[in-house]
Amino acid sequence: MSIAFTRPVSPRIADCELTHLSRSPIDPDRAAAQHAAYERALRASGLEVCRLPELQEHADAVFVEDTAILLDDHAIVTRPGAPTRRSEVESTARALAGRFTVHRLKRGTLDGGDVLRIGRTIYVGQSRRTDCAGIVALANAAAPLGYEVVAVPHDRCLHLKTGATFVGPDDAGRPTVLINPDWIDPSVFEDVALIPNHPLEPFAANALRAGDRLIYPAAYPRTAERLRTAGFAVEEVDISELEKAEAGLTCMSLISDET
């Protein structure tokens, strides 16, 4: 059974780091309720949900994806680009140590939200949160595990997965990526089918593959229809309060296929 590792919403989420969004009021209780609904959607998709320890003083702690990368039975603990998030990784490392062989990046900065894995290829966004040294460090850690790293420079969105996410195979069996081509250069992906977001929904390229379906933000119905037309099963969830913290669906969990 696949496992989704999550972390509770901090009561200080309103103090979160922001890069491309203006700050607006965030209701922590509403954000927590939406996060609980997100966890229910993960369970309904057949995943086991394993909550990591709460970090009340860390405003961005719910975005657990940024703190580790899961590759088979290995976990690579990252070095987040925002200094305020660096101390989150120790909690993640301790929680994963019982299930995975844990590795640590020791140079540069790297957010897990900039990491998009398709098969044995890892696309890594070079962004304000992930630098060249971090990408090289990940490449060195991933190569012995059988993975190739491809750098993807971008500067128009927070993370690579803000603008491009893997949504599964198409009818011909090709891996398929949902992409905002205004934010992420489509040419970086080879032998991949692409579904562009609806142009009126620029933040709509972040979808979470869970089991045989996609969990998807309810705010983007036009792009959801594109996904359904392409043959994907889509379950929509409301994460509007969390999106004020520059959240995407993928950033709130670490997904492992290990049993």
Among the options 58, 74, 103, 159, which is catalytic? 159
Q: How many CB atoms lie within 10 A of CB 37?
A: 13
Task: Give strand pairing partners of 4.
Answer: 49, 255
Q: Smallest Cα–Cα separation from 63: which of 55, 73, 74?
A: 55
Among the options 58, 74, 154, 251, which is catalytic? 251
81-85 LR contacts (CB < 8 Å, sep 24+)? 81/109, 81/110, 81/111, 81/127, 81/128, 81/129, 81/130, 81/131, 81/134, 82/17, 82/129, 84/17, 84/58, 84/59, 84/60, 85/17, 85/58, 85/60
159 is catalytic: yes
130 near 139, Cβ under 8 Å?
no
Report, in angstroms and rounded to the nearest whole number, the Rg of the chain calculated over CA atoms: 17
198 is catalytic: no
Amino acid 81 reads G
DSSP string, 25-82: ---HHHHHHHHHHHHHHHHHTTPEEEEPPP-TT-TTTT-GGGGEEEETTEEEE-B-SS
Which residues are annotated as catalytic?
A: 159, 251
